[in-house]
Structures are given as C-alpha cells and as structure tokens.
C-alpha cells in the first residue's frame, strides 16, 4: 500500500466542500511514513490501535518531540539513495530519536529527488522515529505531475502550501529545539548487516569487518556464506525509479560481459507498483533483469516480509546437511535474524544494483568492491566498477522512460467506482472449526477473561536489547519441526502447504505457536556452560527444566501461572505486528519490564491488556542480577506515567524493590488497559450504552 499511497492515493492537499486542508494518514503498518516524503504527515500505528478506532474510539498520542535534520553536501557519484538511508539509519539510531517526528531540510534535502526522499521516509521505523517529513517544494509538484496527478490537483498543492506557509521557502524559517546535521557527501557505498538495519558496513570495509574473505568451495558445492536469496524487493527501493533503473543497467552491463548469477541463488524482483514493469519495458531493460534471474514475481510484499517462497529442495538439503552459513541479500528495510528465511542464517540490506552484483558473486564472503565477479568473453576479469552504471546514464533513462501515462494506466482502472455489489444478508461469519487460516478467536475466554493479578509472576524470558517483533512472532516460512509445523501436520495439512506464519494469523492455534518461535532467540534464562543458548527455548521454573518455548507456554497455561518478560533497550522494534502482543498475552504474560519500548509495539501491548513498565535510567536486569529464577509483583496503581514498584523475590526469600515507570502514556491507554484490552473496552462501552438506552 505504501507505494500506492505515494504514487496515487495521497493528494497532499484535500479539497472538500470548498475547503482545502492537508492530507493526513494513520496506517496499520510501521512504514506508513513513506508518504512523509510528499510533505504529508503519515504515521504508523498498531493493528490493535486501529481496531480501537474502528470500534468507535479515538486514536490518541503524546505531543511528539520534533527534531530538525539538516542535510548538507551532495552525494558522490555512484551512491544510491539506499546507501544514504542506511547511513542515516545508523546515525539516527545513535542520536536516539525514538518516537520523535523528524523534519528533513537543508541544501542536501532540496537536491534529493522525491524518490530518494521516499526511500528515507520509508525507513522511519528503522530509525525508531514516528515520522520523517520533507518540505513541499518543486520536487514535490514535479513528482505529482510525473505520477499522473491532474494539473488542477498540482496547482492546488502549490497554491495551498505557499499560502499557508507549508512551502519550503516559508518552512526554511522553522526553528527546532534540537537540530541534527548529516553530510550526504560523506556517504559511500554501504550494506547493512547482519541482523539489524542500523548495522551499516561500508563496502570498502567488508574485509576489515570480517564479512568478506577468501572462500575455496569444493567443486559442485556451495561456498561458505552462500547467498541463497537475492531479492529486489520492498517499496523502500522499488518506489524509487533511480534505484530500479540502476539495477537494470547493471544487469545489462553484466549480461554484456557474459556474467551470470550463481545457480544456488534464488533471485526475484517484486515491485510495489505495476508502473515499475511499464517503465522497465519502456527502457527495454526488463529482459536484461530477467536474463539474470530477476524477473517480476509479484507486485507486493514478498521477501522483505519473509515470504520468499520455498528453496530448491536440493539446495535446502545441502544447507541442512552441511550446516552451511547461508545468507540473503535484499533491497528491503529489515534483516532481523530469522526474518527473511529460516535457512538464511543472516541477511544483508543493499541497494538494488548491489543485490544483482551479489547474485553474481554468490556469496557474502566476497569483497564486492575488489574481488573479481567473473571474466568476459575475452578472458578479462570483471569487477563491480566495470559494470556499475554512471549517474548520468541512470538519470537519462529515468527522464526518458518514466512517464505519467504509465501511472495513469495502472491506477485509473484500480480506482474505478464499483457498483452493484451484492452483500450477504447475514453479517455473521460462519466459523469453520477445522480451518487453519481463520478460527473464532478466544479473546473473551481464558487468560484474557480473568483478572490480572500482577503478583507472583514468573519470567517467560529474560532478553537483551533490540528485541524485535520478529523475535516475538516471526512471519516467515513454517518448518515441519517447529511447534506450528507439528500442529499443522496433525491437522492434516501437507508440508508444502504450511505457508508462512503471516498467512495463518487468523488462526490463533497456529499463531500462538509462533510466540518466541524465532530460531535466533537468545533467552538469557537458557545457558550452556554459561553461554546463552540460541533457539526458541525457555526454562520452566521452579523446576529449572529447559524445553522448547511452546512447551513452556503450554505448561504455564495449564498451571494458570501469570508471566512477565524482562528485557533490555528498544523492546519491540520492527513490524507493527499485533500478534507480537496477542501471542504473549494468550500465553499469560501480564507485564513486560524493559529499559525502553518502541512506540507501536508498546501500544499493541496496551491494546491486549499487557502492562508495559520501564526501568529507571541506569537500571537494568543486569544491575539487579535478574536471572529468571525470581518471581515478580507490581505494586501501585497503573496510571499515566505513574511511579510503580517492581517487587522481586529471589529463591532465597530475599526481596528487592525496584522503582519503575508505568508506560501507559495517556488517559485513553489507561482506560483500555483497565478494561483488559481494546475488545474488552469496546464491550464494556457497548453494554453501558445499551443499558443507558434501555
């Protein structure tokens, strides 16, 4: 939807009944700020918060910190918007901009194309911010014309922005309490990884960082670091014509030199808009991508959301048999452990042209700047510099081949009025008890129906920093030996139809088994000779037995044992995945204490009736020696930013009282939490209203 929002749905300025006003957007995806690039305030919220709005309640938020980000300098030749955004992501994470609204300005921002701005705005959640705005200027109106908006609409945007002070010239007078400065000229070619979007690595430093290295593969076998997935994917990059054309031109140059991708690389192109196909065909470059294996497979979220599809069985078996360090390279926005594919042990983010280059290299153990990709027809070595297209050629192809009529051809049929649609007379869904895709949810039963005592809670997990929603509830392929896979097998589903966790979210019995099912989880309660053991594992207390996470959850559910999760900083990074909150609540988790929370996941926790509480600055699980053998109780009444006490009881009987902050941030969140969650709040309001009416 983000690319569709950018290319068509956002008018930037609305006009209704003779009144003009700015466009705004609240979306149920963390990358909703994609259209901030147009000067539209757009933020992502959790699905549970959106559900609350659909049920008639308002969406509340705190007044944000607004931070100015001044972009200076001019990017170097050969540097893509992806390189820039990976560097900015690293920079802004270091600057701690969580939940802030960012406004980019300065000479560097003015020089960026709208597509480049969109690449930056799209990755707002990777900064931890809530919004990443750019000023409205000529680049905005040029883009609106390019994407087929009417002359009248473009004129409205320009006139309104200039009259109301939203045009760049007026906004240049804006003052910010905090201004950060970023120099575009200092950005070189980058990738990010492994594991996090903010772990930037300059391609000139691959050897020094231990990513590249000499690899001697046995004949007929995959090398160490084999790239099993290379995908040009995600609206982050496919909404930027420069990035897509750069990849296509690199593919053309590689084909001319006789280079091919390695046979073990599963490659794909999945744009977020059909307009991409049209301008690639206009430039006669789609066949060049197809020749290297980057044919269009879909117009949607695919590999970027863990839905790359199955691997060749022989390749998958070799990865298993040799316990091979296999990797993925993609032009997406997230590379969290286990997200892209269960057999890709780590993943790296890269620009679309670099994705093509890595498919040719075939391994991440490759110095992409210095090593030889192959030899041409004359036996001459070919390196990246020999096939990298010039900025001038990229810009010329974009100017010649990307046309308004392409966007019009795609979007006009899409938004035709639909008439004569018949509706079923019965609004109630006929639940099918054997479905593994949609099942009547249990949100009025079990743990969610009872009172939350917040006393004598046992830790389900003790976790470190940067826990993502992919750790909490993965979305990728379901494996046969996983808890969800075993359940689907018992339900009679053949393994080839297991699909992904994301597709089974409507069946809580499948989705529950995804809770902490990430094979890269590091639960500090599970150790082997002192070292944390990786895997979807838990330790049942007080017995101390180490079992698979789902088995621990089942055990605690049978005992009706209230649970808590203890974590480090930036808990809940990543997708606005409501099952990351639903899963832990259904397991019996009543509270989560962490050093800090990402905004969207925190609101999802509140929406499920889970209490988020935060350590005071300088205090952590480690400073209090928490190892998971303890029980925990929360003392005090949860209220907006109230001071509470976390009472920790050790096995020795010793008790420590830890001061914590309640992270119910608004009166609305308190109201939802007190009811037990979004649905319970709605039910209470509905019953009260019905009683009053009666």
Cα 128 to Cα 65: distance, rounded to the nearest angstrom: 13
Residue 546 is predicted with a pLDDT of: 97
What is the per-residue pLDDT for 446?
A: 58
| pLDDT, the chain, mean | 92
In whole angstroms, what is the distance from residue 534 CA to residue 525 CA? 11
**Residue pair 219/256 in contact by the 8 Å Cβ criterion:** no
Instruction: Tell me the per-residue pLDDT of 101-130, one tens digit each, with 9 for 90 and over.
Output: 999 999 999 999 999 999 999 999 999 899
* Number of Cβ atoms within 10 Å of the Cβ of 325: 17
- Dihedral sign computed on CA atoms, order 70, 81, 383, 363: positive
Q: Is the peptide bond before 493 cis (omega within 30 degrees of 0)?
A: no
Using the predicted structure, report yes or no on whether residue 563 has a pLDDT greater than 70: yes
The tokens of 131 are what? 């919004």
pLDDT band at 353 (very low <50, low <70, confident <90, very high): very high
- Is residue 645 within 8 Å of 616, Cβ to Cβ? no
pLDDT band at 418; cut points 50, 70, 90? low
What pLDDT shows up at residue 421?
Answer: 57
pLDDT per residue as tens digits for the range 52-89: 888 888 887 778 899 999 999 999 999 999 999 999 99
> Which residues does 546 contact at the CB level (< 8 Å), separation at least 6?
526, 533, 537, 538, 539, 540
- pLDDT tens track for 632-644: 999 999 999 899 9
End-to-end CA distance of the chain: 43
- Condensed to tens digits (0 to 9), the pLDDT of residues 147-188 reads 999 999 999 999 999 999 999 999 989 999 999 999 999 999
Q: What is the 3-state secondary structure (H, E, C) of 107-125?
A: HHHHHCCHHHHHHHHHCHH
Tokens representing residue 500 in the block: 């992904």
Residues 490-506 have a mean pLDDT of: 88
CB 648 within 8 A of CB 655: yes
Q: Six-digit token pair at 376?
A: 């041409």
**587, 563 contact by CB (below 8 A):** yes
Q: Do the strands 631-635 and 643-649 form a parallel or antiparallel pair, or are they unpaired?
A: antiparallel
List the single range of 23-37, 288-302, 320-334, 442-456 with lowest mean pLDDT: 442-456
Tokens of 84: 């820039």
Q: Quick one: CA torsion of 442, 443, 447, 449, rounded to 10 degrees?
A: -120
Percentage of the chain modeled with pLDDT above 70: 97
Look at residues 164, 165, 140 and name the one whose alpha carbon lies nearest to residue 154. Answer: 140
134-138, 439-443, 661-665, range with the lowest pLDDT: 439-443
pLDDT value of residue 420 = 57
Q: Which pLDDT score is estimated for 29?
A: 85
Nearest C-alpha neighbor of 402 from the set 613, 199, 148: 148
**Which pLDDT belongs to residue 423?**
61
Calculate mean pLDDT across residues 573-586: 89
In the prediction, which pLDDT does 341 show? 83
Coil, helix or strand at residue 109 = helix
Q: Read off the pLDDT of each residue in 376-399 and give the average, rounded to a whole number.
A: 97
Q: Is the pLDDT of residue 577 over 80?
A: yes
Query: Which region, left, alpha or beta, applies to residue 533 given φ > 0 means left and ψ of -120 to 50 means alpha?
Result: beta
Exposure string of 186-222, with b = 16+ CB inside 10 Å and e = fewer, is ebebbbbbbbbbbbbbbbebbeeeebbeeeeeeeeeb
Residue 392, pLDDT > 90, answer yes
Name the burial class of residue 499, with classes exposed (0-12), middle (13-18) and buried (19+) by CB atoms within 10 angstroms of its CB. Answer: middle
Q: Which domains does the chain have, with CATH numbers?
A: 2-186 (3.30.499.10), 190-409 (3.30.499.10), 446-473+562-689 (3.20.19.10), 475-513 (no CATH)
Percent over 90 (pLDDT), the chain: 72
Structure token pair of residue 396: 């010329």
Each residue's pLDDT tens digit, 422-462 = 666 677 888 877 889 998 888 777 556 667 889 999 999 99
Q: Apex CA 410: angle with CA 404 and CA 415, to 5°?
A: 110
CA gap 86, 202 in Å, rounded = 10
Amino acid 694: pLDDT: 67
Count the helices and strands in the chain (H runs, E runs). 27, 27
Q: Please report the pLDDT score of residue 450 as a whole number.
A: 65
């Amino acid at each position: 939807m983000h690319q569709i929002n950018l290319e068509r749905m956002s008018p930037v300025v609305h006009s209704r009944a003779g009144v003009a006003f700015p466009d705004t957007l609240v979306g149920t995806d963390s990358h909703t700020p994609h259209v901030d690039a147009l000067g539209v305030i757009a933020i992502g919220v959790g699905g549970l918060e959106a559900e609350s709005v659909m049920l008639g309640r308002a969406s509340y938020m705190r007044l944000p910190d607004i931070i100015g980000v001044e972009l200076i300098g001019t990017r170097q030749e050969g540097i893509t918007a992806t390189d820039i955004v990976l560097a900015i992501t690293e920079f802004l994470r270091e600057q701690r901009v969580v939940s802030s609204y960012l406004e980019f300005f300065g000479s560097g921002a003015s020089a960026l194309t709208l597509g480049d701005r969109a690449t930056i705005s799209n990755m707002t959640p990777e900064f931890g911010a809530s919004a990443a705005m750019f000023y409205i200027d000529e680049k905005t109106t040029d883009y609106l014309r390019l994407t087929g908006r009417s002359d009248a609409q473009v004129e409205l945007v320009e006139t309104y922005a200039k009259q109301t002070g939203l045009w760049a010239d007026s906004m240049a007078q804006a003052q910010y309490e905090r201004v950060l400065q970023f120099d575009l000229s200092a950005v070189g070619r980058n990738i990010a990884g492994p594991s996090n979007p903010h772990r930037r690595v300059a391609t000139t430093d691959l050897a020094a960082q231990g990513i590249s290295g000499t690899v001697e593969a046995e004949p007929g076998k995959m090398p160490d670091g084999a790239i099993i997935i290379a995908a040009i994917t995600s609206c982050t990059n496919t909404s930027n014509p420069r990035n897509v054309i750069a990849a296509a031109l690199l593919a053309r140059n590689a084909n001319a030199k006789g280079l091919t991708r390695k046979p073990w690389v599963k490659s794909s192109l999945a744009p977020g808009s059909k307009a991409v196909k049209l301008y690639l065909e206009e430039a006669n470059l789609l066949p060049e991508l197809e020749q290297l294996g980057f044919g269009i497979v879909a117009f949607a979220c695919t590999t970027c959301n863990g839905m790359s599809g199955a691997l060749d069985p022989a390749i998958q078996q070799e990865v298993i048999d040799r316990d091979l360090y296999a990797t993925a390279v993609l032009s997406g926005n997230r590379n969290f452990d286990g997200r892209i594919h269960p057999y890709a042990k780590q993943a790296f983010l890269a620009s679309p042209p670099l994705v093509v280059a890595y498919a040719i290299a075939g391994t991440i153990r490759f110095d992409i700047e210095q090593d030889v990709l192959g030899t041409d027809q004359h036996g001459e070595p070919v390196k990246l510099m020999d096939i990298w297209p010039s900025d001038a050629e990229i810009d010329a192809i974009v100017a010649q081949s990307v046309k308004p009529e392409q966007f019009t051809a795609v979007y006009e049929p899409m938004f035709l009025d639909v008439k004569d649609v018949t509706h079923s007379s019965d609004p109630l869904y006929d639940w099918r008890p054997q479905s593994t895709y949609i099942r009547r949810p249990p949100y009025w039963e079990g743990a969610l129906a009872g009172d939350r005592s917040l006393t004598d809670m046992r830790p389900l997990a003790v976790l470190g920093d940067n826990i993502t929603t992919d750790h909490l509830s993965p979305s990728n392929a379901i494996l046969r030996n996983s808890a969800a896979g075993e359940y689907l097998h018992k339900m009679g589903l053949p393994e080839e139809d297991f699909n992904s966790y994301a597709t089974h979210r409507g069946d809580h019995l499948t989705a529950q088994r995804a809770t902490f099912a990430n094979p890269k989880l590091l639960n500090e309660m599970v150790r082997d000779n002192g070292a944390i053991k990786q895997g979807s594992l838990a330790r049942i207390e007080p017995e101390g037995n180490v079992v698979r996470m789902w088995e621990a959850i089942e055990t605690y559910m049978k005992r009706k044992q209230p649970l808590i999760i203890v974590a480090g900083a930036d808990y809940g990074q990543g997708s606005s995945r409501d099952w990351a909150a639903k899963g832990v609540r259904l397991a019996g988790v009543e509270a989560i204490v962490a050093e800090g929370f990402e905004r969207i996941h925190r609101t999802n926790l509140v929406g499920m009736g889970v209490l988020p509480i935060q350590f005071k600055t300088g205090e952590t699980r480690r400073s209090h020696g928490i190892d998971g053998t303890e029980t925990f109780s929360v003392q005090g009444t949860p209220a907006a930013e109230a001071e509470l006490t976390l009472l920790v009881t050790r096995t020795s009987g010793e008790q420590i009282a830890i001061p914590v902050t309640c992270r119910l941030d608004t009166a609305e969140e308190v109201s939802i939490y007190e009811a037990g969650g979004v649905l319970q709040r709605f039910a209470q309001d509905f019953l009260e209203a019905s009683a009053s009416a009666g």
